[in-house]
Amino acid sequence: MAKFQAPRGTLDILPEQQPYWQWILSEARAIAGQYGFRPIEVPVFEETDVFARGVGTGTDIVEKEMYTFEDRGGRSLTLRPEFTAGIVRAYIEHGMHVLPQPVRLYSIGPVFRYEAPQAGRYRQHTQFSCECIGEADPLADFEIMSMAWDLFDRLGFTGLRFEINNIGCPACRPRYLREVLIPYLEAHRERLPKIDQERLQKNPLRVLDSKEPETQPIIAAAPVITDFLCDECRAHFDDLRHYLDLMGREYVVNPRLVRGLDYYTKTVFEVKAEGALGAQNTICAGGRYDGLVELLGGAPTPGVGFAAGIERVMLLLQEQGIQPPPLEEPVVFFVHRGQAAKDRAVQLAHTLRTAGIGTEIAFGNRSFKSQLRQAGRSSARFAAILAEGELERNEVTIKDLASGEQTTVPQEGLVAFLQACLSE
Ligand code: ATP
Ligand code: MG
């Protein structure tokens, strides 16, 4: 039989990489808590329309990347390609508009996109997604960006680049598109590759987001939306920049930064880390989505959020040579001789674990020497040795595996002794 492999474009995060993974997730949760975000879990799949509407037809995600299937009851379901639409669906469904606003929610979990796999680009990846729903103040945009900042600072990233833009709102963007961008792009239609000609038809703003080489000079010379913002969007952008300046956050205004999702209004931003992953150096993206709640059937409600890709964060931390703190592992390894000693070791291991001291115990009936070798290869700092002599005297011999130093300890005093050693 052929050997099984993980599906194309998916990733196993093995135990060796888990110190990174767990560290990133625990810092993300800690930051979210500090900013008043509460965790929420939403289903991994939703009715297809949640994403078709919430992400928007004409986006790459909806047109090419969704895992859509019919279940046995004939419903069209889609594996979530992002969190925002599902979280907003839950906000509306559970009447969260009656809670004090804004409602700040976050989730961490897998999302699914049928993409061309490469380093940093997978068909299942993991997002840390934060949503602040029900607040229009640009300070909310700042706080969202600030969370990303704090997270990446705490992880020790260097050379981060924050890019921001304002892509207008329903009051000013349509005019920019109709009177400025579309005529400009139409004038260069001949030189656009086919995919961007299609984008021009369906979602012209997205041409500005194109990665096609032939399109780059056309994008570079395109008139920018920031010159056509309405007063409200202009003031919003100025306010956001006021807070960024106030806090001395370094950022770059990239007037060509747009998001592939239809529901984004006003603020958009992206964070790039130094690294060799090219387009996959973007570790975080977000922005304001004042149109989304209404689009999914709720009352008009502003919102702002971001999502960070955990796999990319992990790869780039590794590339930057940043070391994660180690995961907790057993500190004691029981070595025993004879069934009576083995039984006593089982009891004492239980006592230690109950006291919060991680403990391993040798299996089988290998020789003392081989068990000690095993202890030396384990994560343990101490071997706890039980042979006939120790059993008779109700003692344990504790061997410090680094120094080789041995101490005899009464069994009743074992927990206290180890706690004292560990707190030194
Ligand atoms: P890209 O332009 O790289 O395709 P995107 O605009 O599709 O990204 P978002 O939808 O904003 O990305 O997702 C938020 C974050 O999730 C990205 O900034 C990135 O860190 C991560 N991400 C997106 N797609 C993938 C993927 N296929 N594999 C791994 N991480 C991803
Ligand atoms: Mg993408």
Q: Are residues 237 and 313 in the same domain?
A: yes
Report the CATH number at residue 80: 3.30.930.10
- The share of the chain scoring above pLDDT 90, in percent, equals 90
Mean pLDDT of the chain, nearest integer: 95
83 is in an annotated binding site: yes
Q: Are residues 384 and 361 in the same domain?
A: yes
Do 234 and 90 share a structural domain? yes
Amino acid identity of residue 238, one-letter, is D
Task: Tell how far the Cα of 9 is from the centroid of ligand 1, in angstroms.
Answer: 14
Q: Is 265 within any annotated ligand binding site?
A: no
Instruction: Take atom 26 of ligand 1 and give the residue whose Cα is closest.
Output: 121
Ligand 1 pocket mutation, candidates 67, 107, 121, criterion most atoms within 8 A of CB: 121
Ligand nearest to the CA of 257: 1
Query: What is the span of the domain harbouring residue 361?
Result: 332-419
> Do 140 and 60 sit in the same domain of this protein?
yes
Which residue, by CA, sits nearest to atom 29 of ligand 1? 121
Looking at the structure, do residues 250 and 361 belong to the same domain, yes or no? no
Q: Are residues 60 and 23 in the same domain?
A: yes
39 contacts 30 by C-beta, under 8 angstroms: no
pLDDT at 106: 98
User: Which residues are near ligand 1 (CB < 6 Å)?
Assistant: 82, 113, 115, 120-122, 125, 127, 260, 279, 282-285, 307-309, 311-312
Count: domains in the chain: 2
263 is in an annotated binding site: yes
pLDDT at 278: 87
pLDDT of residue 275: 87
Q: How far is the CA of 156 from the centre of ligand 1 (A)?
A: 21
Of 319, 349, 372, which closes a domain? 319
Backbone angles phi, psi at 172, to 5 degrees: -120, -25
How far, in Å, from the CA of 25 to the mean position of ligand 1? 17
Q: How far is the CA of 180 from the centre of ligand 1 (A)?
A: 29
Q: Let me know whether 158 and 33 are in one domain.
A: yes
Query: Of 285, 319, 353, which residue constitutes the final position of a domain?
Result: 319
pLDDT at 262 over 80: no
63 is in an annotated binding site: no
Phi-psi region of 232 (alpha: psi -120 to 50; beta: other; left: phi over 0): alpha
Q: Based on the fold, state whether residues 28 and 133 are members of the same structural domain.
A: yes
Q: What is the pLDDT of residues 84-103, one digit of tens each?
A: 999 999 999 999 999 999 99
Q: How far apart are CA 90 and CA 94, in angstroms?
A: 6
Q: Which of 319, 347, 367 is the last residue of a domain?
A: 319
Does the residue 75 lie in any domain?
yes
At 260 the pLDDT is 59
pTM for the complete prediction?
0.94
From the CA of 10, the nearest ligand is 1
The protein residue with its alpha carbon nearest to ligand 1, atom 28, reads 121
| Residue 123 marked as a ligand binder | no
Claim to verify: residue 236 and residue 103 sit in the same structural domain: yes
Q: Decide if pLDDT at 121 tops 70.
A: yes
Ligand 1 atom, smallest distance to 286 CA: 11
Q: Please name which ligand lies nearest the alpha carbon of 130.
A: 1
Q: How distant, in Å, are the alpha carbons of 68, 85, 359 from that of 64? A: 10, 18, 50
Q: Which of 244-248, 271-275, 313-317 has the lowest mean pLDDT?
A: 271-275
**Binding residue per annotation — 424?**
no
User: Would you say 264 is a known binding-site residue?
Assistant: yes
Confidence tier at 371 by pLDDT (50, 70, 90): very high
Asked if residue 370 and residue 299 are part of one domain, the reply reads: no
Protein residue with least CA distance to atom 2, ligand 1: 279
Q: What would the pLDDT profile of 140-193 be if each residue is shown by its tens digit?
A: 999 999 999 999 999 999 999 999 999 999 999 999 999 999 999 999 999 999
| Alpha carbon separation from 341 to 355, 388, 396, 419 (Å, rounded) | 21, 7, 10, 23
* Average pLDDT estimate for 293-310: 97
2 in a structural domain: no
Measured in Å, residue 113 CA sits from the centre of ligand 2 at 8
Task: Output the residue whose Cα is nearest ligand 1's atom 18.
Answer: 284
Q: Is 131 annotated as a binding residue?
A: yes
Nearest CA to ligand 1 atom 30: 309
Name residues whose C-beta falls within 8 Å of residue 144's C-beta, 6 or more positions apart in sequence. 130, 132, 286, 304, 305, 306
Tokens (6 digits) for 181: 């961008």
pLDDT of residue 209: 86
Provide the edge-to-edge strand list for the sheet that holds 161-166. 38-39, 103-112, 124-133, 303-309, 282-288, 265-272, 161-166, 252-253
Same domain, yes or no: 249 and 282: yes
- Which residue's CA is the closest to the ligand 1 atom numbered 10? 82
CA of residue 57 to ligand 1 center, whole Å: 18
Given a contact cutoff of 8 angstroms between Cβ atoms, the answer to whether 109 and 126 are in contact is: yes
Note whether 392 and 410 are within 8 A (CB). no
Atom index in ligand 1 nearest the CA of residue 271 equals: 18
